[in-house]
Structure 1
Amino acid sequence: MSKPNELELLADLEKISYQERYQCKTTYDVFCHAQDGYPTNIAIAEHLTATRDEVAKELTFTHLVKKINQTANLYKTFGVERNDVVSILLPNLTENHLSLWAAQAVGIANPINYLLQVDHIVEILNEVKSKILVTVSLDGTTELGKKVHEIIARVPSLEQLLVLDSRHGEGSNEQVTVTDFNLAIAGQSSERLARSSQPKGDDIAMYFHTGGTTGRPKVAKLSHDNISFVVQVYAGFNAYHGNSAVLNALPLFHVFGVIAASLAMFCAGRTVVIMTPEGFRNPNTVKNWWYFVHKYQVCWFPTVPTIISVLLQQPDEELDLSCFKHAACGSAPLPIELKLSFQRRFNCNVTNGYGMTESSCVVARVLPGYDVEGVSVGNGIPYSRVIAAEVIDNKISRVCNANEPGIILVKGPNIFQGYLNESDNEGAWVDDEWFNTGDLGLINDLGHIQLTGRAKDLIIRGGHNIDPQIIEDALMAHAGVLQSVAIGQPDAHSGEIPVAYVVVKDPQQTTAVELLLHCQTYINERAAIPKRIDILDSFPLTAVGKVFKPLLRNKATEFSVNALLKSHHITGHVSAEFDPEKGQVVHIQLANIQDKEKVATLLIAFPVLVNYTTL
């Protein structure tokens, strides 16, 4: 009997409803299931330094779940009820997991990027009306400690502060009560929560901030149903990896690190190895990555394109890496040459998935045992629906044919419960049932999805979203600026970096250097400060007078590639174009065709398709 194609496989899976197939209805159910099924398995192995001689701090599933119960009971003593919010401002630590999952057991968890500027953190905390904040300490000599002092003064809903290090201010003050996290949970019951106290599937489990690292926060509401569904689908997709450990250096304030790389692994009784509190920002994490792959006999790990590029640059070692077979890439588009180079060097399979906060992490993945062409992100996950469509006035005017580009719309049990602020839901839903991803793509006859661009103009820098309007508004606030446009420029390390083009009143009076200094003053989020500002005489316009951004993206791409060639003393002519089916394409005419291999290596991490000719 022939192997079914992907659509046939998905249809066969869906003959049983997901409610019947997946028994865990909440994230708390996932942990109860793990404790019952894998009580002595190591759940977490925590490395604080990732040096090769470091002994990890380990927790079995039995001990992990007991500590989650203790943390949940502590929250209850603080008066946390089902709709109260516990915000978590922590690096990657065991305590982050305890805080996160316990908060969902009795209330709503709100993980926050602790690297954000304090103004943005305060906005998020006030948006969600946070009752409890879990963080490292009140040490005013640290950057995070300084932020916490300002948070206390500016977030009136905050009642309790739980700290991992209480040496800098345990006790009470006028605003909040400060408590030592680990000492406090130790005194609580570790017994499983009574059924009446446990969450239900339609309860909100998490508030994730999204929509960019700058500007007013958009807060996505993810239910227990949403998360537990995705977790069980993802665990099933990875079942063929067995129970091998997983290295996780992705941040625990991001859905990829929390849901796919952590909870889905716990669901299957697998060990999650915490690779330092700083994750990939710790130099030891990358430097010793392959050592730990060998040490833990890792079969599969989750990563992002920038890290794949960095890992490719690590020197070879005498390590047996035959255990390593698979890498799952997410957060940003994966360039095809980067994928192929990684596969060749490490004799592995790299799949590029697709998801977002609003899809509880996953929209599409390559199905186990199947291959896709090029940079396809695979099929929509079981029980969901993904289409490419023409959309007019928030209505589907037409569903696109196979291989015809359109706006990607999704619906299914993975799709979130909307944004906390009702105004953010305007325009997010098409025909009142499809979530508009803002991405452009095409879907072939097998249901394989290929992303070709973005309808939304977000700049994705290293997996973090930046709203270009924040940059444009800051530049327009300058008296000498007439027009401004911010776009993402291809970058080998970050995927994209923000750059801006402006038209000024008087080029003799207003310079690019002055405008960069202006941005540094008026843009709070460092990641959003443009790396380059280019002053133009005028902008390219569409027939109706709107700025034609594809030409500016081409210009930025040409600048980036030319700069790279020049820095390596390679002569060539570069031109860029945007192809709606292929994405950003770069044509390079080389003076010496022998430079092609060198250029291909230099451009391996660029999110572009490259064509070569000779001058």
Structure 2
Amino acid sequence: MPDTTRTAPRHGGGVHNLDDILAFEQTPWQQQLPAHNTYDLLCQACERQPGKTALRFVLTGDVDAAEFTVDYRTLKRRVTQAANAFHRAGIDKGKAVTLLLPNLPQTHFALLGAQAAGIASPVNPMLEVDYLAAIVNETGAEALVAFAPVPDSDLWDKAMEVVDRCPAICTVFVVSAAPYVGTAKGLMLKAMYATARRPARRDVAVIGFDAALERERHDMLASGRHIGASDICSYFHTGGTTGLPKVAMHTHLNETFVACMLNVLEPRPSVVLCGLPLFHVNGAMVTGLAAFCGGWEVVMLTPAGYRGKNVMSNFWRLVERFRASSFSGVPTIFAALANLPLAGADIRSLRYAFCGAAPLPGEVARRFEAVAGIQLCEGYGLTEGACVSSVNPVQGGRRLGTVGLRLPHQQLAAWRIDSAGNATGACGIGEIGVIGVCGPNIFPGYLREQDNRGIWLKPGWLNTGDLGYVDQDGYLHLTGRAKELIIRGGHNIDPAMIEDALLRHPAVAMVAAVGQPDAHAGELPVAYVTLKTGAAATAEELVAAAAALVPERAAVPVRVAILPQMALTAVGKVAKAELRMRAAEHVFERILGDSGIAARVCVRADVKRGTVALVSCAASQQGRVLELLGRYSMPVDFAA
């Protein structure tokens, strides 16, 4: 598909180029938002088309799976009832509700209802209990919405452990899957719940979520609360793999602004598939508030999203079944779909797909578009910017290799910085610098004050930590992530250079390049790969291929490891923190083995200390282990 420029023809409204954004900005943004808090924005959308389907939910990815629907009238009622139930439990302005849930219609009710009552704090339920408890204690949440027991899941036990560790929690709302599984399985789930663990503290009330909602009025907020634009509406945690997660605060303005601006970019009604988790800002905004603001239909693809049973294998058939217009995902999702034949599925309803959360390799984009026959529009955003800061135009003007144009009324620029991280001047067109963003979508800061040190380039301008430049037509080009650079003896290596090169190998499906510890160079590049189904290649062959394909000698990986499955985060991004820990394990075990020490090394994330190497060896060898590994900055512990 050819790239277009700022002279692209106009068609169908929306934004096609930077001139459209500048024209739209002639009216102040304050006059362009229909509401300044998420509850009023939702209510207005629901009142416009009360009978239209807002949510469609399937429990599995089977093409004939039973579906459950919620119209906009019911969505407004359930969100209002959830707000009132939380209010009855003592939640008001400034108090948080933790959501420890998979993707269910009730997750939307709880997320938006908690914002109307106080503050919603959705948390990744796959985190370890230490991290979950740390986040809950930091937010001071007084209520927890938890998923009732189901077979082969530990979410309920995790929730109870969190309650026992978090003294501020006084109410647990229980969301059951029973309404979605049929009579027999529903009875089985109720029996499981009846005998399941309960909080150790007797002062904790445990209440059925659906039943609690039914007891509340649905026509108004019982609190009578006036929700201000600057009120905090949500906490979204970031990271959580190498230390205590940071908790980003969103105001009601941050989220309503992004929801409205996304509908400026794409004003046409859509059916959007939801496969990303709602504890992640992309899932909550793109397939949540923004979709509802535009009157879209959101199809929830199982409680586990893209990870749900048969979702990926049947993806094109699900597009056909629901006549989906669009969906969003991370690069790993598109890499998988690029290798999934249509097999006769009719996907003519699809207009485009969005990719974000991590850099998109150009080869993956080309493979996907060849299969799907639609535009893959890459965007860019951060939790700290309420999800979206730039996106490629979906109605013409997409430019491959970029993450698009800035949101209307949000500024974006590359900056030169000094050694302290402060901006010293704006970069020129095409000049690489640190990307900064400024606008109504930018958060007020992290909940923990020490996390706010050094995050501002200058007043109002957030330091994204990304490197890139803006071209003459306003498109943002990312060139690297400062913290993901592999630094070999002071030489900065962009992992994308290695990844893009190895993706050209015909046997390679996915690649992730990271740095492994080296006593002399600091880091050396290594690559982890997965192979295409039916393809064969050895690690030695791939190292040789990399030597020929990677354009920079210092960037050629010293080692390639072939994995049966790529390490992924709960959102589906490549888990580079985990791969860096694997690389460190490999290096440390080799060093100890070469010195005749029989040892097992497990590099793990500690909630307070960051990354720690846990070594299992004979007590008599511990002194020698400390001597050998003491050349590295990572703390060393010994297994009991």
Q: TM-score, normalised by structure 2?
A: 0.74
Q: Contact 1:565–1:571 at 8 Å: present in 2 too?
A: no
User: Residues 38 and 269 of structure 1 are in contact (CA less than 8 Å); yes or no, is this contact kept in structure 2?
Assistant: yes
Moved more, 148-157 or 111-120: 148-157
Please say if 1:261 is aligned against 2:287: yes
> Is it true that 1:355 corresponds to 2:371 in the alignment?
no
Match of 2:478 among 443, 451, 454: 451
Name the structure 2 match of 1:519. Answer: none
Which letter does structure 1 place at the counterpart of 2:291? M
Residues 4-13 or 281-290, more deviating? 4-13
**Partner secondary structure for residue 450 of structure 1:** strand
Provide the residue aligned with 1:401 in structure 2: 428
| Aligned counterpart in structure 2 of residue 574 of structure 1, from 533, 538, 546 | 546
Give 3-state SS (helix, strand or coil) of 1:386's partner: strand
Q: CA deviation at 1:423?
A: 0.9
Name the SS for the 2:277 alignment partner.
Answer: coil
Aligned pairs (5 A) from 1:286-305: 286-305=312-331
Report how far residue 395 of structure 1 moved.
Answer: 2.3
8 A contact 2:56–2:297 mirrored in 1: yes
CA distance, structure 1, for counterparts of residue 298 and residue 395 of structure 2: 24
Say whether 1:279 aligns with 2:295. no
Tell me the distance in 1 between the aligned counterparts of 2:53 and 2:474: 38
Cα distance, 1:107 vs structure 2: 0.1
Query: How far did 1:283 drift?
Result: 3.5
Q: Output the CA distance in 2 between the equivalents of 1:445 and 1:362.
A: 21
Partners of 2:457 and 2:113 in 1: how far apart?
Answer: 35
The residue aligned with 1:501 is 517
Determine the C-alpha separation between the residues in 2 that align with 1:128 and 1:337: 41
| 1:426 is the counterpart of 2:450 | no
Cα offset for 1:211?
A: 3.6
Cα deviation code 1:222-261 (max 9, x no counterpart):
000000000011122122xx32311111011101111012
Which amino acid in 2 is paired with 1:130?
Answer: A
Give the match for residue 376 of structure 1.
Answer: 402
Post-superposition shift, 1:358?
0.3
- Decide which of 381, 387, 391 is 1:365's aligned counterpart: 391
**SS of corresponding position for 2:320:** helix
* Structure 2: runs of 5 or more not aligned: 1-5, 10-15, 177-192, 488-492, 558-572, 576-640
Alignment-derived partner of residue 17 in structure 1: 28
How far residue 196 of structure 1 moved from its aligned partner, in angstroms, is 3.9
5+ long unaligned stretches in structure 1? 460-467, 469-484, 503-537, 541-546, 588-604, 608-615
CA distance in structure 1 between the aligned counterparts of 2:161 and 2:264, rounded to whole angstroms: 44
1:311 corresponds to which residue?
Answer: 337
What residue is the counterpart of 2:246 in the other structure?
218
Distance 1:119 1:174 in 2: 22
Structure 1 residue 290: Cα displacement: 1.1
| Contact 1:138 1:148 survives alignment (8 Å) | no
Q: Which segment is superposed worse, 282-291 or 422-431?
A: 282-291
Contact 1:152 1:175 in 2 (8 A): no
For the 8 Å contact 1:558–1:575, the answer to whether it is kept is no
1:104-115 to structure 2, matched below 5 A, reads 104-115=115-126
Structure 1 residue identity aligned to 2:405 = N
Question: CA offsets, 1:370-413, max 9 Å, x none?
Answer: 43443100111111111111111232222111111111011011
| Local SS of the residue matching 1:232 | helix
Q: Which residue of 1 aligns with 2:563?
A: none
Map 1:36-55 to 2 at 5 A.
Answer: 36-55=47-66
Q: What is the number of equivalent residue pairs in this alignment?
A: 513
Partner SS for 2:538: helix
In 2, the alpha carbon distance for the partners of 1:570 and 1:433 equals: 46
Query: Which of 177, 182, 192 lines up with 2:220 in the alignment?
Result: 192
1:121-150 alpha-carbon deviations (Å, 9 max, x no partner): 011001101100001126798411221221
Write out per-residue CA displacement over residues 339-375 of structure 1, whole angstroms, 9 at most, x where no aligned residue.
1221122211111000010010011111343434431
Deviations 1:294-342 (A, max 9, x none): 1121121111110111112223322222111201111111111111221
- Does the 8 Å contact 1:365/1:377 carry over to 2? yes
1:121 maps to which residue?
A: 132
**What is residue 520 of structure 2 aligned with on the other side?**
539
User: Aligned residue for 1:462?
Assistant: none
| Partner Cα distance (1:493, 1:567) in 2 | 14
* 1: CA distance, partners of 2:46 / 2:376: 31
> 1:148 and 2:159 equivalent?
yes
Select which of 350, 355, 358 maps to 1:329: 355
**Measured at CA, do residues 140 and 155 of structure 1 come closer, stay the same or move farther in structure 2, by a change above 3 Å?**
farther
1:32 to 20, 43, 60: 43
1:179 maps onto 2:179 in alignment: no
SS of 1:113's equivalent in the other structure is: coil
CA contact (8 A) 1:576 1:585 kept: no
Aligned partners of 1:294 and 1:320 also within 8 Å: yes
- Counterpart of 2:210, as a letter, is N
For residue 174 of structure 2, give the secondary structure of its aligned residue in structure 1.
Answer: strand
Matched ranges for 1:337-352 at <5 A = 337-352=363-378
Shift of the 391–327 alpha-carbon distance from structure 1 to 2, 3 Å rule, reads same
Contact persistence 2:273–2:299 (CA under 8 A): yes
Q: Shift of residue 269 of structure 1?
A: 1.1
**Is the 1:109–1:205 contact (alpha carbons within 8 Å) kept by the matching residues of 2?**
yes
Distance 2:144 2:514 in 1: 32
Report how far residue 447 of structure 1 moved: 1.2
- Structure 2: distance between partners of 1:294 and 1:257: 22
Q: Distance in 1 between matches of 2:549 and 2:405?
A: 28
1:8-31 deviation per Cα after TM superposition (whole angstroms, max 9, x unaligned)? 222111110111011121111221
* C-alpha spacing 1:199/1:566, structure 2 compared with 1 (3 Å): same
> Aligned-residue CA RMSD in angstroms?
3.2
Aligned partners of 1:332 and 1:495 also within 8 Å: no
Bigger drift between 72-81 and 571-580 goes to 571-580
* Structure 2 letter corresponding to 1:125: V
Q: Give, in angstroms, the shift of residue 498 of structure 1.
A: 5.9
Are the structure 2 counterparts of residues 257 and 401 from structure 1 closer, same or farther at C-alpha, using a change threshold of 3 Å?
same
- Equivalent pair of 1:106/1:199 in contact (CA under 8 Å): no
Cα pair 1:210 1:357 within 8 Å, conserved: yes
Shift of 1:585: 7.7
Secondary structure of 2:255 counterpart: helix
Structure 2 residue matching 1:322: 3-state secondary structure: coil
Partner of 2:233: 205
Aligned position for 1:235: 263
8 Å CA contact 1:120, 1:214 repeated in 2: no
Amino acid at match of 1:127: E
Q: Do the aligned partners of residues 224 and 559 (structure 1) sit closer, same or farther apart at CA in structure 2, a change above 3 Å counting?
A: closer
How far does residue 53 in structure 1 lie from its aligned partner after superposition? 1.5
- Alignment of 1:390 with 2:387, yes or no, is no
Range with bigger deviation, 364-373 or 124-133: 364-373
DSSP-derived class of the 2:547 partner: strand
What is the aligned partner in structure 2 of residue 476 from structure 1? Answer: none
Q: Which residue of 1 aligns with 2:273?
A: 247
